Chain A
Amino acid sequence: MEFTVDPAGDLGFRLAFSTTPEPSLTYGLLVIQSAARLQFNDALADSIVGYTTLTLLFRPMTLERERVHCWLEEQAQRISDPADIPDPAHKTVTLPVLYHSSVAPDLEWLAEDKGLTVDGVIKLHSENSYFAYATGFAPGFCYLGTVDERLAAPRLRTPRAKVPAGAVAIADRQTAVYPCSSPGGWRLIGACPTPLFALEADPAALLSVGDTVKFEPISIADFKNMQCDQRKP
């Protein structure tokens, strides 16, 4: 696999592979991320895995440029053979979803646009399992793939000013749950009552890169009960 190591600003480096995203590549990037945390300790402020990239951001006045550059190149060489990557111990999370037009303004549109029934859309979305390729956009937001190509939907031309927290959405062949209310251009096909980011929880974010996510259809009654449970102290 071809890769490049380049600066990311004056405090960071970006390792980028020129390939299509694959869970095996993500596992490799996670291996390097763990190694980097041990290797650079407190000097490393943040490390972020993207679809095909790993970005290391250092604290001011701690970055030893040559050393980090060489280290990243060595690490990238090591994961270039996916057979060498240890099987990661990541979790599978099942998220309950209410697929209903009362909470999903694009559900019926998507069915019609794709020549499917609403039940057909629900089946295609919930029977698949998804891989967490990247996190970001908002705290707890996780980019999940890969959506069945029969459901691939373009983003809205003009993003909605407000997407509610818990909205389950599709953009191209990615899917995600909006952890908090925010502007957003993805197509909304359901609502999930499980919080994806909670300050009182440890860790605060429910999903991490490398996790597997499944969606389980629930009834309106279940959805309301779960919402009530969330509000209890």
Chain B
Amino acid sequence: MRTLTLVRSGIATSVQDAGRTGRQHNGVPPGGAMDEFALRMGQHQLGHRADEAALEFVYGSLAFTTSAPCRFIVTGAPAIITIDGTKTNSGQVRETQAHPMVNIKPIGQGVYSYLHVTGGIDTPICLGSRSTSPRERLGGLNGQYLCDGDVLPLGPERTRSEPSYPVTSNISAPETLLLRFIPGFQFDLFRVETRHHVESQLFSVTPRANRMGITLDGNPIETGVASLLSEATCYGAIQIPPDGKPIILLNDRQTVGGYPKAGAVIRGDCRRLVQSQPGQRVQFVAITPQEADRIAWLEHHYLETKLA
């Protein structure tokens, strides 16, 4: 069996694929790659299917070797890759001999990167997915973030796909990132000033950001809504805890919650948010469900074009 050994495991490195569906009614979060575009770009470049897993890592830092020659690509937050002493860029398929030393170093853009290796990371499927949910200890390697020295099985290599073109990272840091959201949940119960406050004030990304959610800083939002009976959350939900600092709920969120919610940020903007570093300014903009659908269609077709 071909294996990959993590020489330097980096930060919050975990096995991820597209995540789990159909388990939220048991309290199991969907999990999956935080940047779905980056995951799919990498899968496509290696001729992988949507269920083949990659390694997700944070702030572009990792070192690995493999037991056999392999092809790999790093997508998402861009990085400098050194293969046995030779420097190259991320975003393009690279080949190595057996037992290479591959060092990945950040260049300071974005947050989440993905290391795809031919055959995919072949850890056992757990509840329909290889994705790691560290809090629940599900999936991946023993349900945990990976450590230095961990050895991961690689799946069988498929027939080679055509030589590939470089993948652009799509990661940018605009002065203000718009978080377009569909109002919902308790938003109508918020005071009028509060609803205005949500949209008119600027917030910023804090370091309290992980696979569960991203906490924003700004003038506290006073919802005037007491805690509620537990109800389902959803991807992108804008949860307002008692301290008034909004938390955008993401892949490893708790499936139910009792804090008031203003609505939910659309998926495309969540993906840009997860690649934003602390300090990034953001602004909420309410949109209609129909506008959200139009944006989703555009982004879907953009991705399909990229994957054509």
Contacts and interface: CB of A to CB of B under 8 A. Distances in A.
Interface of A: 6-12, 14, 16, 21, 33, 45-53, 55, 57, 59-61, 63, 65, 134-141, 143, 179-180, 182, 197, 199, 203-205, 208-209
Given A10-B267, A14-B184, A50-B229, A57 B27 contact: no
Given A57-B24, A61-B296, A11 B235 contact: yes
Nearest to B23: A46
B138 A139 contact: yes
Interface in B237-267: 237, 254-257, 263-267
A10 B231 contact: no
Given A53-B231, A143-B230, A10 B264 contact: yes
Contact of A51 (B230, B236, B255): B230
Contacts of B191: none
Given A33-B25, A45-B21, 11 more contacts: A8-B232, A9-B235, A9-B264, A10-B289, A46-B25, A57-B234, A135-B27, A135-B256, A136-B230, A136-B232, A180-B137
Contacts, number: 144
Contact of B231 (A55, A179, A208): A55
A77 B81 CA distance: 59
Given A46-B23, A50-B229, A53-B231, A10 B296 contact: yes
Contact of A45 (B22, B182, B289): B22
A55 B26 contact: no
Chain B: number of interface residues, binned into ranges = 35 or more
B127 interface: yes
Q: Give the one of A7, A10, A134, A143 with max B CB within 10 A.
A: A10
A57 B234 CA distance: 8
A156 B238 CA distance: 25
B232 A137 contact: no
B185 A8 contact: yes
B234 A9 contact: yes
B293 interface: yes
Contact of B25 (A10, A11, A14, A209): A209
Contacts of A46: 21-25, 30
B242 to A, nearest CB: 12
A218 B169 CA distance: 59
A50 B256 CA distance: 8
A180 B137 CA distance: 9
Interface of B: 21-28, 30, 126-127, 135-138, 182, 184-185, 229-232, 234-237, 254-257, 263-267, 289-290, 292-293, 296-297, 300
B173 to A, nearest CB: 23
Given A11-B235, A55-B234, A57-B24, A134 B289 contact: no
Contacts of A65: 289-290, 293
Given A10-B264, A10-B292, A180-B136, A49 B25 contact: yes
Given A10-B292, A65-B289, A138 B184 contact: no
A83 to B, nearest CB: 24
Contacts of A136: 24, 27, 230, 232, 254-257
A48 B296 contact: no
Nearest to B256: A136
B256 A8 contact: no
Nearest to B228: A51
B54 to A, nearest CB: 19
Nearest to B291: A10
